[in-house]
Amino acid sequence: MSEMILLRAHALALYEEMARDDKIICVGEDIGPYGGIWKTFSGLQQMYGDGQTTIGGRVLQMPMEEAGYSLFACGAAMMGYRPVVEIMYADFSTLAFEAIVDVAAKFRYNAQGKNSLPITFILPQGVGAGSGAHHSQSVESWYANVPGLKIVAPSTPSDVRAFLRASIRDDDPVLFIWHRGLMMGKEDVPDTLAPEDVPALTNAAKIVKEGNDLTVVAYQRSLAVAQVAAQEVEAETGKTIEIIDPRVLIPFDKEAMFKSLRKTGRLLVSHDAPERGGFGSQIITWAVEELGTELKNNPVSVCGKNIVIPFNKLEDYVVPNKDELKAGMKKALGL
């Protein structure tokens, strides 16, 4: 085991998968000698070539043209490659919308199931750097309404490493979304990850903390805040709170949530994206449809505010904080 920040775990996953499969290519801005804006591609071009000075190079630095290089990746996937496409900020994925939504997501259907586009689109999202409205949004719900896409949203270094590898191996287009506010988070990560230990993208939910009185489903930055809030609520109320990190949003591990809810009878959902139209609403819908008569209280959502993300420290006021989560937990508990 080695202590590793999230960014290093991300880079390690890319290195491991590129070493395993010579059909994996990396596509994006500044991913060459600079190693990417987040340094998650450091050393890869030197190792695997740039595709210009090196015939067959596999780390392809592109101009600032998300629409163009995302469509290029679709073409490469049609020819048998497995592209990893980094969009520098998740917000900029709007410029790659055609490639993601109208080409990659629909290709398996249009090919009558005979072919697919195994592309991993890497989207760094979220607050944490004071970057403002165009660099800080949480985008998972923008794409959750698109059939044909899988959405992966891990929160810890170990899960980033494991689920990025799983995303690259998957035969369908995957949006791999990591949170910039967690990029320096540290954790002990296994030195090796055997092929059989790379997880599937199904049944992916993890019980982060066990409890009996309330189920909390949260991911990424909101998950970290919920863990702190739960400790304080438990100390103040004597209740115990179970926390689930879904890790993969599509396909969502409904059964793990249902199992927890049959025990607790109460649900709180939290994420940084705005509450209106957020993925949390879908989670609550699944819970009510399956277990509506068994729930002891109405589900509660503690999510981002429905306003544009401001610059600097003002961003703290538009995403869930500890006190808001504590209040939401007590409400869900009926206290």
Distance from first CA to last CA of the chain, Å, rounded? 42
Q: Quick check: helix, strand or coil at residue 26?
A: strand
Could you confirm whether 271 is annotated as catalytic?
no
Q: Are 151 and 120 in contact (CB under 8 A)?
A: no
DSSP 53: S
Could you tell me where the DSSP H helices lie in the chain? 6-20, 44-48, 66-78, 97, 105-110, 140-144, 157-169, 221-237, 254-264, 279-291, 322-332
Which letter does DSSP use for residue 131 in this model? B
Instruction: Give one DSSP letter per residue of 188-239, joined into a string.
Output: EE-S---GGGSPPSSS--EEEE--SSEEEEE-THHHHHHHHHHHHHHHHH--
- Residue 251 CA to residue 150 CA, distance in Å, equals 6
Please pick, among 10, 135, 179, 271, the residue that the annotation labels catalytic: 135
Q: Are 195 and 12 in contact (CB under 8 A)?
A: no
Q: Are 246 and 235 in contact (CB under 8 A)?
A: no
> Which residue numbers are catalytic?
135
